[in-house]
Amino acid sequence: MSERGDRTTVTVRIAGEEYVLRSSAAPEYTRECASYLDARIREIREMTGVVEVHRAVILAALAITDRYLRSRDDANRIRREAASRATNLARRIEEELASED
């Protein structure tokens, strides 16, 4: 969760347990993060039949990490493509301007 000023205390429920979290993020954001994690844990437990909460938490963490790493790789690929296109466009504009002289 990112730095956004003063810390606030938020109570959330994850995997049936209540947690009091202190965060500098907006309370709504902290709740959204907790809700997302809780949903992934429930999804993992339903899909796999895993009863032990700690195992479901680890599997949910792995699934979230996988999604994050894939998104990061996609974002990096898009940045490279955008930079390449911008470079090519700038080159073409310079060539066009040079040919007008």
Q: CA–CA separation, 101 vs 93, rounded Å?
A: 13
Structure tokens at 23: 């965060």
Give average pLDDT by consecutive 10-residue segment, the chain, 101 residues: 72 97 96 98 94 95 97 98 98 93 72
The string over 82-99, giving b where at least 16 C-beta atoms fall within 10 Å of a residue's C-beta and e elsewhere, is: eeeeeeeeeeeeeeeeee
Q: DSSP string of 17-67?
A: EEEEEEESS-HHHHHHHHHHHHHHHHHHHHHH----HHHHHHHHHHHHHHH
The pLDDT of residue 3 is 47
| The pLDDT value given to residue 2 | 47
